[in-house]
Amino acid sequence: MQNRKSILTISVSAIFLALIIVFSYIPNLGYITLGPISFTTIHIIVLIGAMIFGKWLGLVYGTFFGIFSLIISFQYPGTVNYLFINPFVSVLPRILFGFISGCVFDFFRKHTDKANFLIISAPIAGILTIMHTFLTLICLYVFGYLDIFRISQALGMSDIIEANEALFGSFGNFILVFIAPGSVCECAAAIILTPSISSLYAYHKLPTNFYKLGVVKEIGYGETIFSRKLDIILVALFSIVAIGLCALVLCLYYLM
């Protein structure tokens, strides 16, 4: 049983990591580009993984999120997104986000029952999304704009910083005018999608709950098969994701 749980954990983790990669490379899916910067939906995948698996896999998902954020930033020269080629701006805040999210969900899972955990996971997801934005902006300001390690200067990104300051006047104005509306949409999407998708797996350890949900059935001699219920769950899951992402894109376009 333990080996089967481990195999399922690895398999589902691979799916999460594959989703991060796919969302990163499909235009306006993982990163919705508006003006000089992109808003993300990938943080929702990290939140779902951290809620289900806890802090250590949350750390892994956050690290992958950051690495691909760095890679994708090379596609946007001349914009604020290009500042994310600095790993202290792209990778560091996402590592912290994934690990802290897992720790928070682990804490509330241990101190609440199943029903209450699923209820409070919605506002927790919203708060953690705000934390992700906060961490990213701090790193962008300290390591990008202030450039305390002179990485931006070494990579020739001083012109981008000067142009953004000329356009918005200050980093604070940039946040209030441009970042805040998009962050509200990111937060709303996380509040709706994170508990909705995670609740499909009935509270805690995903591999165990595959058996509880009837997704995986034992056929004897330690062998297992996937049942047709898996199709229903996957359709429901991806339908929720698709609807949520469409709503997020529409909100961003109307707000901006």
- For the chain, give every domain's residue range: 27-255
Give the torsion sign (CA, 49, 55, 57, 61).
positive
Query: For the segment 74-109, what is each residue's pLDDT rounded down to a tens digit?
Result: 888 877 888 899 999 999 999 999 999 999 999 998
252 or 80: which leads in pLDDT: 80
> What number is the average pLDDT over the span 20-42?
84
Q: Which CATH code fits 27-255? A: 1.10.1760.20
Q: Do the strands 37-40 and 216-220 form a parallel or antiparallel pair, or are they unpaired?
A: unpaired
* CA distances (Å), origin 165, targets 27, 79, 141, 247: 27, 12, 12, 31
Lowest mean pLDDT among 76-80, 113-117, 181-185, 200-204: 200-204
Q: What is the pLDDT of residue 166?
A: 78
Given a cut of 70, is residue 2 above it in pLDDT? no
Q: State the pLDDT confidence band at 64, using cuts at 50, 70 and 90.
A: very high
Query: For the segment 129-180, what is each residue's pLDDT rounded down to a tens digit?
Result: 999 999 999 999 999 888 888 888 888 788 888 887 777 777 777 777 667 7
